[in-house]
Amino acid sequence: MEVKDMISAKRKALGYSMEEVAKRVGVSKQTVQKWESGKIENMRRSSLAELSKVLDIPISDLMGWKHEPSSVVQLSQRERMVVEAYKNNPDMQPAVDRILGIQPKQILEGLKVARNGKPGEMVRIIDPQKMRELLK
């Protein structure tokens, strides 16, 4: 989808008029019309940032940058809460892994460091045998 079409579709999906978008972004209605018609392709940085917020479109999409679908993962608020709860409760992780059907072998292959370190701190490598015992 072209950027001009993305702007128009998202504006309409949110139920905004061109005037509303213009007012929220701080530009004229004519500018919004030109964005949606493709007559203005290079937006000012300030307008780009505001439009991104107003229409909830990533700036990279408004810039027309292509990115691999697999590299972009957007989590809902609930999913973020679940991930945080999992990360903050390492003693519960083996039970959660069993419930979800995640095999200890998969965990060991993806595990690089122990969870007893602080974020960003280098910590010791877990002994795979001890980890297997913990996950039984």
pLDDT for 104: 59
Same domain flag for 93 and 49: no
How confident is the prediction for the chain on average, in pLDDT? 76
Same domain flag for 59 and 98: no
Token duo for residue 78: 């609930």
Contact criterion met (CB below 8 Å) for 106 and 99: no
11-15, 53-57, 62-66: which range is least confident on average? Answer: 62-66
- pTM (two decimals): 0.48
Residues in the chain: 136
Residue 24: inside a domain: yes
Query: At 73, is the pLDDT very low, low, confident or very high (cuts 50, 70, 90)?
Result: low
Alpha carbon of 40 to those of 3, 36, 43, 91: distances in Å? 11, 8, 7, 55
Same domain flag for 59 and 95: no
Domain total of the chain? 2
Query: At 131, is the pLDDT very low, low, confident or very high (cuts 50, 70, 90)?
Result: low
Asked if residue 21 has pLDDT above 90, the reply is: yes
Give one word for 21, left, alpha or beta, with left for phi > 0 and alpha for psi -120 to 50. alpha
Residue 78: inside a domain: no
Which domain, by its residues, includes 40? 3-66
